[in-house]
A and B are shown apart, each in its own frame.
Chain A
Amino acid sequence: MKLTESIDLLKRDFEAELSSCADEKTLDAIRVKYLARNGQVAVLFEKLKDAPRDEKPHIGRLLNELRNDITSRFDDVKQRLVAARQGEQTDIDVTLPGRSVLAGTLHPVTQTIDEIVRIFTRLGFNVATGPELEDDFHNFSALNFPPDHPSRDMQDTFFVNDNLLLRTHTSPVQIRYMMKHDPPVRIVAPGRVFRNEAVSARSHMQFHQVEGLYVDNGVSFADLKGILVHFAKEMYGSNVRFKFIPSFFPFTEPSAEMYISCFICEQKGCRLCKHTGWLEILGSGMVHPNVLTNVGYDSEKFTGYAFGIGIERTALLKYGINDIRMYFENDVRFLRQF
């Protein structure tokens, strides 16, 4: 058979097969049969070298046309089949669920600590930490709690022995940090604290605090108010109103509790603010000169302020979690909400 006849025959065969092809798999088999490296088109090209010399240009052109024809016919059918397949998919139920992604969460206590710490680090506060198991010196004596004084009853304490105890507040970090660093110091210290109190919806044997401390030349109560007002506005919105009420902590003097206007009821009175219109958010004060002396600072030269923010309390205000036990039960349906 002459090569030109073979070309025509191949063309016819290809058209016949292609017209009966109804799926992509068959189509691919056709591609392999005709267009692959060892396919029938290639076989014909192979034969070109045996053709008479004067016919070579003509047959060569015919072969090229054949290949282009087959390729473009193949592409047409392929396109049609793909379109048909996609057309089939238009009746898919897109309301079926997406495939699950494993989404982890951070504990609300962690998130609240992060949010508070972020506000203060932007103001130039460093983050410090200290141990949960403390001694009497760091937790009490150095913080101006005299021995055998009723102020020690303010915080019911878990003791390991007469000297070792679970810290009742994050304030011992103040002592540890100041004993290691010269002024000026400006830190926030987040951490877990313990109280020997029966567990109920409102109180727990453990909770978390963020402590703040700034000691420098000429720090005043006005500075304390300045920073805390800034904090309250960052945390609870720029519209909150605030007030400072005298209080007592052995390690600060003057001491103050900070209240903000209740943002739930706009001070009309609700359960959260116990119908007072005000929410207590933190305790604070000027670092007592005795504390500065205890860590070896010159209390004449330096003054400072300190504050402590309860984390679970803050999270209660932020998320509305009204049972403190939820934080430590780890019901994963609770955790996944954060």
Chain B
Amino acid sequence: MPIQRISYSWLKKLIPLAIEDKEVERTLSRSGVEVADMRRLGAQFEGIVVGDVRAKSKHPKADRLSVCMVFDGEKEFQVVCGAPNVEMGQRVAFAKVGASVPRNQHDPHGSPFVLGAAVIRGVQSEGMICSGYELGISDDADGIFVLSQDALPGTPFALYLGMDDTIFELEITANRGDWMSHLGVARELAAALDMKAALPSVAVREGSAPAKTLASVTIKDPEKCPRYVARIITGVKVASSPEWMQKALEAVNVRPINNIVDVTNYVLMETGQPLHAFDLERLSGKAIVVRTAGADSTFTTLDGKERKLEPDMLMICDDEKSVAIAGVMGGLNSEITPETTNVLLESAFFLPTSIRRTSKKLGLSTDASQRFERGCDIEMASSAADRAAALIAELAGGTVAKGAIDIYPGKMSPRRISLRPSRVNRVLGTSLSNREVAGLLKRLEIAVGDKAKDEIVATVPSYRNDLVSEIDLIEEIARLFGYDNIEPKPSTSLVMLPDEKTERFAKYLRELMSGWGFNEMMSVSLTDEKGSAYRNPGTAIALMNPLGKESAYLRPTLLYGALNSVKLNFARSVKDLRFFEIGNIFYRVSGNDELAFQDVREEERLLVLITGRNLPEGYGNPSRPADMFDIKGVVEALLAKVCLDKYRFIYYDSKNSLNRTRVDIEIQGQSAGYFGSVEKEICERFDINENVFACEISLEALHRAWSPTIRFSEPSSFPPVTRDLAFIVQQNITNDAVVAAMKKTGIATLESVTLFDIFAGEKIGAGKKNMAYSLRFRSNERTLTDTEVDGLIERIVRSVQTECGAELRTF
């Protein structure tokens, strides 16, 4: 948001304010003008006044010191001074005891210090005569800063410098371009305080030559330039502006240049109307032609930079060439120089969207463009030109040509908006009368007329471009009536709500994961080019305008963000990590993907990551390095909880060989994610030299398989029978295969199968291993007998023998 600096003393020239700066700040804030900062100029000179050196004598004990009597307008103080240039009769900057001196001459950093009374080599000193360095206004530390002889003793030093002002820094919202001037802010204060604000009256003393005979103005694109006012001033003498104007401009952060340019900036800051002064003699044919750039491809602006033009940019031209980018910046080829004598002053209105497009494309935002793109006051164009012309004649001499050249093809009648007081009350929850509504509008210089019982016709002043419909007026009424005066009312109506299951599901997952000892993390949704290459080529989504290379793409995986956080924790010597994150990933899809938005899939995912030890290390805590089966255990627990048996792990790759580092997860027959150990090369990219185990699952797939309704089944009240079995199998036979062979028997009373031991060795035979299982049988209907279970065991053993080529190991 642009910042507008507004001077308190300047405001007072436009509205007879009787309130202090602090109250101005409060009033503006209440009206919705954000005051980002309020600074009293010269606050650093508190306690420093103009002093009169009434007497000077030598210090009795030190040759280089003198003892002065300084008069502060009320009484005299004895001051010991070490400066060689102090003399009787001088006016000086006198810091009294208790003043905060801006810079300390004896401090290497020049920090401020509070002055105390002192005894200097036996002589009492009550104050200090300051040097320019101590005051912070020059680097001269050798002698005191001598003031002009007409300064009145006792005058605050800030006032002597003309710095008795307060500067408000306003943050300007996009809708209120009119606040980008002292007049606009004065009008806002006038409305709030029920006063009137106005520009100083202007009387332009004109010469006899009509402006029209000295120059011409043609508008070729009246849509982009509905009005162009030109004033001609001849015979000026370019010089520095007077001190009052320089100070006024400096107070609002505008650098003084010369009396002509300063006047245009002064009137801009006063009225909000951007002005531009051309050297008339440098305009070919003494003509102004307003047209789009067309074939012109480059232009050098007055900051010396060459700008690339586009055909639809609006330009100010003369008969031959471009002389300014309309509403943005003037050109080097027509600027005011010390030799300029005749001036053409431009005061125009340009189409806001056109100026904004140009300013954006050029990457050039100026005081003028910021105002034009918000919309200026089209009626102000002529009065601002008059005000500037009069000021130029006053400050730079010369003659203002008779009349203005005012080309105004876009003249419109004032905007009328009809407003229903009933609607005001309905939207605001107030009970204002028609009279009260009208009264509030009038304070904003909005003319009102009654049309019907419930209709007020409001005529909006030309500087309020933001007021276009009824609701805009309702807001104005609310602002002036005061938000604080609207009584809060509790809502009572009931709304029947559908259940949002997605939200509930994510919450459920978060609770599960934190319950299992995982810390929820959140990483950045943006990644670098390497990170974007996680998926197949062509699926990465790049930003057009990234902040930097490290965040130029949308993340296609949650894994890299998590690894980044692992890296950060490792760097801080935190090694045992259990993370989870729920977040969106993005990738481009082709063809008709129902879930895609403009060919991009945004997919919510769950990431789980484990690294380091499985438990915190400590006395009595047997912990070990985490492994693949720690992540697998979590995944199994999660899937069992969420999808019951609607999932399956894919252990084999397409060539049917067992994948030892990564297992794919299928939910309801569709690929839904993976778990496994993160590849070494990837870890190394994040400077991680430990094993990292991770899992990523699609929330959508989990959610689809989720059955939040739980069906209770009564636990059996009969005792179980437990039997242990051990098989000797070939090394390549998996646990999954053995368990599947057991399950294949379809024995309903087989309650659980638990693997409790695996070992290989000479006793078992080369290339073989022993797998020991504990099987538990239980019926819901009766107690199983030993003989019955013997029969079941026999079936199971047979199945494992056939399916896995196993041999039963006898004890």
A245 to B488, CA, bound (A): 14
Residues of A near B579 (CB, < 8 A) are 330, 332
Per-residue B-contact encoding for A134-164, CB less than 8 Å = 1, 0 else: 0100000000000111111110011111011
Q: Tell whether, in the assembled complex, residue A331 and residue B568 are in contact, meaning their CB atoms are under 8 Å apart.
A: yes
Residues of A near B525 (CB, < 8 A) are 132, 166, 192, 194, 206
Looking at the assembled complex, report how far the CB atom of B687 sits from the nearest CB atom of chain A, in whole angstroms.
16
Looking at the assembled complex, report how far the CB atom of B750 sits from the nearest CB atom of chain A, in whole angstroms.
31
A104 to B510, CA, bound (A): 10
Q: Tell whether, in the assembled complex, residue B29 and residue A245 are in contact, meaning their CB atoms are under 8 Å apart.
A: yes
Q: Given contacts A223-B429, A330-B522, are A150 and B174 in contact (CB under 8 A)?
A: yes
| Interface presence of A247 (CB below 8 A) | yes
Which one of A166, A192, A286, A333 lies within 8 Å of B574 (CB-CB)? A333
Q: Tell whether, in the assembled complex, residue A102 and residue B578 are in contact, meaning their CB atoms are under 8 Å apart.
A: yes
| Interface presence of A27 (CB below 8 A) | no
Q: Tell whether, in the assembled complex, residue B514 and residue A332 are in contact, meaning their CB atoms are under 8 Å apart.
A: no
Per-residue B-contact encoding for A73-112, CB less than 8 Å = 1, 0 else: 0000000000000000000000011011111111101100
Among A3-11, A28-36, A119-127, the one that faces the other chain is A119-127
| Interface presence of B430 (CB below 8 A) | yes
Per-residue A-contact encoding for B362-397, CB less than 8 Å = 1, 0 else: 000000001001100000000000000000000000
Q: Tell whether, in the assembled complex, residue A104 and residue B486 are in contact, meaning their CB atoms are under 8 Å apart.
A: no
| Interface presence of B418 (CB below 8 A) | no
A127 to B615, CA, bound (A): 37
| Interface presence of B288 (CB below 8 A) | no
| Interface presence of A225 (CB below 8 A) | yes
A71 to B426, CA, bound (A): 91
Q: Given contacts A133-B597, A150-B374, are A222 and B544 in contact (CB under 8 A)?
A: no
A184 to B495, CA, bound (A): 7
Residues of A near B572 (CB, < 8 A) are 331, 333
Instruction: List chain A positions with a Cβ less than 8 A from chain B.
Output: 96-97, 99-107, 109-110, 114, 123-124, 126-129, 131-133, 135, 147-154, 157-161, 163-164, 166, 184-186, 192, 194, 196-199, 205-206, 214, 216, 218-223, 225-230, 243-248, 250, 253-256, 286, 288-289, 303, 327-333, 335-336
**Nearest B residue to A195 by beta-carbon distance?**
B547
Looking at the assembled complex, report how far the CB atom of B612 sits from the nearest CB atom of chain A, in whole angstroms.
10
Among B105-113, B292-300, B433-441, B497-505, the one that faces the other chain is B497-505
Q: Tell whether, in the assembled complex, residue B619 and residue A97 are in contact, meaning their CB atoms are under 8 Å apart.
A: yes
A221 to B352, CA, bound (A): 32
| Interface presence of B515 (CB below 8 A) | yes
Residues of A near B618 (CB, < 8 A) are 97, 100
Per-residue A-contact encoding for B517-534, CB less than 8 Å = 1, 0 else: 111111111100000000
| Interface presence of B122 (CB below 8 A) | no
Q: Tell whether, in the assembled complex, residue A221 and residue B544 are in contact, meaning their CB atoms are under 8 Å apart.
A: no
Interface band, chain B: 35 or more
Q: Tell whether, in the assembled complex, residue B517 and residue A332 are in contact, meaning their CB atoms are under 8 Å apart.
A: no
28 pairs, CB–CB < 8 Å, chain A vs chain B? A96-B619, A97-B619, A99-B620, A104-B520, A104-B580, A109-B522, A126-B495, A126-B497, A128-B500, A133-B554, A148-B357, A149-B356, A150-B356, A160-B541, A166-B543, A222-B430, A222-B486, A225-B483, A225-B488, A226-B489, A245-B30, A245-B483, A248-B176, A253-B475, A255-B475, A288-B471, A330-B565, A335-B519
Q: Given contacts A303-B426, A330-B568, A331-B569, are A153 and B174 in contact (CB under 8 A)?
A: yes
Which one of B175, B469, B519, B598 lies within 8 Å of A104 (CB-CB)? B519
**Nearest A residue to B572 by beta-carbon distance?**
A331
Q: Tell whether, in the assembled complex, residue B494 and residue A124 are in contact, meaning their CB atoms are under 8 Å apart.
A: yes
Residues of B near A97 (CB, < 8 A) are 618-620
A274 to B768, CA, bound (A): 74
What 10 pairs between A and B have smallest CB-CB spacing? Answer: A222-B429, A102-B517, A246-B32, A220-B429, A104-B514, A330-B565, A248-B173, A151-B174, A148-B353, A225-B488
Q: Tell whether, in the assembled complex, residue A254 and residue B616 are in contact, meaning their CB atoms are under 8 Å apart.
A: no
Q: Tell whether, in the assembled complex, residue B615 and residue A184 are in contact, meaning their CB atoms are under 8 Å apart.
A: no
Instruction: List chain B positions with a Cβ less than 8 A from chain A.
Output: 1, 29-32, 34, 173-177, 352-353, 356-357, 370, 373-374, 426-430, 469-472, 474-475, 478-479, 483-484, 486-491, 493-495, 497-498, 500, 502-503, 507, 510, 513-526, 541-547, 551, 554, 562, 565, 568-569, 572, 574, 577-580, 583-584, 586, 597-598, 600, 602, 615-616, 618-621
- Give the interface SS of chain A, mostly helix, strand, loop or mixed: mixed
Q: Tell whether, in the assembled complex, residue A253 and residue B546 are in contact, meaning their CB atoms are under 8 Å apart.
A: no
Residues of B near A147 (CB, < 8 A) are 353
Q: Tell whether, in the assembled complex, residue A328 and residue B545 are in contact, meaning their CB atoms are under 8 Å apart.
A: no
A133 to B578, CA, bound (A): 29
A48 to B616, CA, bound (A): 63
Q: Tell whether, in the assembled complex, residue B500 and residue A248 are in contact, meaning their CB atoms are under 8 Å apart.
A: no
A251 to B299, CA, bound (A): 39
Q: Tell whether, in the assembled complex, residue A186 and residue B574 are in contact, meaning their CB atoms are under 8 Å apart.
A: no
A148 to B369, CA, bound (A): 13
Name 17 extra pairs, CB < 8 A, besides A103-B517, A104-B520, A131-B597.
A101-B517, A126-B498, A129-B500, A131-B602, A133-B586, A150-B356, A166-B543, A192-B583, A192-B584, A205-B547, A219-B491, A222-B489, A225-B489, A286-B427, A329-B565, A330-B579, A331-B569
A145 to B353, CA, bound (A): 13
Q: Given contacts A196-B545, A227-B491, are A220 and B615 in contact (CB under 8 A)?
A: no
Q: Tell whether, in the assembled complex, residue B577 and residue A332 are in contact, meaning their CB atoms are under 8 Å apart.
A: yes
Q: Tell whether, in the assembled complex, residue A198 and residue B615 are in contact, meaning their CB atoms are under 8 Å apart.
A: no
A330 to B522, CA, bound (A): 7
Q: Given contacts A126-B497, A132-B584, A220-B427, are A104 and B516 in contact (CB under 8 A)?
A: yes
A288 to B470, CA, bound (A): 11
Q: Given contacts A133-B554, A147-B353, A256-B483, are A336 and B519 in contact (CB under 8 A)?
A: yes
Q: Given contacts A100-B615, A196-B545, A246-B483, are A214 and B621 in contact (CB under 8 A)?
A: no
Residues of B near A327 (CB, < 8 A) are 522
Q: Tell whether, in the assembled complex, residue B426 and residue A230 are in contact, meaning their CB atoms are under 8 Å apart.
A: no
Q: Given contacts A129-B502, A330-B522, are A154 and B1 in contact (CB under 8 A)?
A: yes
